[in-house]
Amino acid sequence: MYIQQAFKYQYEFWRYLVGIFVVIAAVFAGQMPLLVAVFLKAGFDLEGMDETQVMQVLDSNLSLFLMLLTFAVALVGLLFAVKFIHSQPFTALTTARKKIDWSRFFFAFGLVAVFSISVTLFDYFTNPEDYVVNFQPTPFFIMLAIAVVMVPLQTSFEEYFFRGYLMQGLGTLVRNRWVPLFITSVIFGGLHFFNPEVTKLGNIIMIYYIGTGFLLGIMTLMDDGLELALGFHAGNNLITAVLVTADWTAFQTNSVLKDISEPSAGLDVIIPVLVIYPIFLFIMARKYNWKNWGQRLFGKVEKPEVLKPSELG
């Protein structure tokens, strides 16, 4: 099992605490280029500016690159901790399979990409007054190159840290599956509280963020690996960055479309979590023949017994 295999390596919980410290340090280090660039551009005249306004100080493509660089550096810090603190190979952090199944990654990526593109186009053609065409060839293709390389690094860090590192660490500590699922999902959603979308839409949007954390966590536990969660998260963020932006979103990009409508949060926050996400899980469950949901989501995590040489036969 995905969590259980962490017992094969250096799994003492103090190691995870040290690893978390390493990751936090890497996050701060990764933020330095962005902070330096902002201060060089605007000096210290940032008083009264919110996060979105601060990000708009820089060219949007430079701002996007530097923001995503934070996650790339954090990913390096995480992989350093896994290798040198836990002596755990990259594959064992990714999946319980003998090798990473990239077909799962691309299936989840394609599933959410087709859905996101379809919904956006439907909304664009039914409510054209809510959008303006934002496409400018040179800035767009520069943004596309940045997004294709850097967005998967951002989403991979979040998946490897929350659904991988913390899921395995908490699972070996509490010896069950539901506590890691609950804690990692709430923390993942909670960290989005500082996104500009929350300021604009209100706290109700946290239902979406936390619900997304549960969706990705359920994928990981049911499928015994991160491949589906990695693909889903990368597809969602990449398509969003390329296809549509708005003045109040975390991703300020030279996308194809710009949403100029006045945003509001209501059923459009609840429906994805209660309707769309279960449909995604149903499709994946049918494709990958998921069974024994109770055990996989709520069962115990037992440390494998180490046989004595005399018992090996």
Give yes or no for residue 308 having a pLDDT over 50.
no
Using 50, 70 and 90 to split pLDDT, how confident is the model at 311?
Answer: very low
Using 50, 70 and 90 to split pLDDT, how confident is the model at 56?
Answer: low
Cβ–Cβ under 8 Å, residues 130 and 259: yes
Structural domains of the chain, count: 1
On whether residue 309 sits in a domain, the answer given is: no
- Cα(301)–Cα(175) distance, integer angstroms: 4
Quote the pTM value. 0.92
CA 108 remoteness from chain centre? 13
pLDDT for 58-113, tens place per residue? 788 999 999 999 999 999 999 999 999 999 999 999 999 999 999 999 999 999 99
Domain span at residue 126 reads 4-302
∠ CA 155-12-302 to the nearest 5 degrees? Answer: 85
Instruction: Give the contacts of 300 (CB within 8 A, at least 6 positions apart).
Output: 175, 176, 177
Percentage of the chain modeled with pLDDT above 90: 75
Report in angstroms the alpha-carbon separations of 90 from 78, 87, 100, 181, 214. Answer: 11, 10, 10, 21, 23
Cβ–Cβ under 8 Å, residues 5 and 302: no
On whether residue 307 sits in a domain, the answer given is: no
Cβ–Cβ under 8 Å, residues 2 and 168: yes
Bridge partners, residue 95, by sequence: 225
Give yes or no for residue 152 having a pLDDT over 50.
yes
DSSP assignment letter at 195:
S
On whether residue 239 sits in a domain, the answer given is: yes
pLDDT reported for residue 45: 62
